[in-house]
Amino acid sequence: MSLSQTSPLQRPDPGPQAPGSAPYLVPLLVGGLVAVALGVYGREHTPTGYAVGLAGFSGAQAMKSWLATASFVLAIVQLVSALTMYGRIPGLQAPSWTGALHRWSGRLAFVLSVPVAFHCLYALGAQFDVPRVLVHSLLGSFFYGVFVAKMLSLPKRNLPGWTLPVLGGLAFAALTGLWLTSSFWFFTTFGVTF
């Protein structure tokens, strides 16, 4: 047998392989687990009715509403900066600082959302008896799941170009729904109070 021939037990080298589905599935799986874990915890945890509030607010609901509003405004900054970086706003060239603005507005939006999520999960728990609260509970779990999936996808270089925009768009949509079912509802029901 010559060196150029292969035996029936040997397979020829197929050459470079295209990446499998693992780069997509691992971040989505971990994000899905985070979403489910938050939902299960929120549902199974006995709500305390009390959580630590931040100084300067009249109550926990006002604190949550204003922090969620700040997160939502920063999410709009995220959306506009992402659209600018991807060249989706005609006639607008992305300034050199757009990437930094996008990263820092996202970080700050996340940090501001943590006390809100903590209060929702710890003090109130996931509630499914009122439609608005059911949607809010599901969107909260979904938001953090998508956020985790997006953060885990960021360092991966072999993902298609649409992956981060889709995950970012889903996070923005979830945060919009969260704001509408919490802050907007609070402000229109009880007024704009601190």
Measured from the Cβ of residue 72, the count of other Cβ atoms closer than 10 Å reads 21
Residue 62 · residue 194 · CB < 8 Å: yes
Residue 45 · residue 180 · CB < 8 Å: no
Looking at the chain, the whole-number percentage of residues with pLDDT higher than 90 is: 53
Q: What is the pTM of this model?
A: 0.82
What does the domain layout of the chain look like in residue ranges?
24-190
Among 15-24, 60-69, 164-173, where is mean pLDDT lowest? 15-24
Q: How far apart are the first and last CA of the chain?
A: 85
156 by Cβ neighbours in 10 Å (0-12 / 13-18 / 19+) ranks as middle
Residue whose C-alpha is closest to residue 117's, from 94, 103, 137, 131:
137
Interval 48-98: pLDDT, tens:
877 666 667 777 888 889 999 999 999 999 999 999 998 888 888 888 999
pLDDT at position 174 over 90: yes
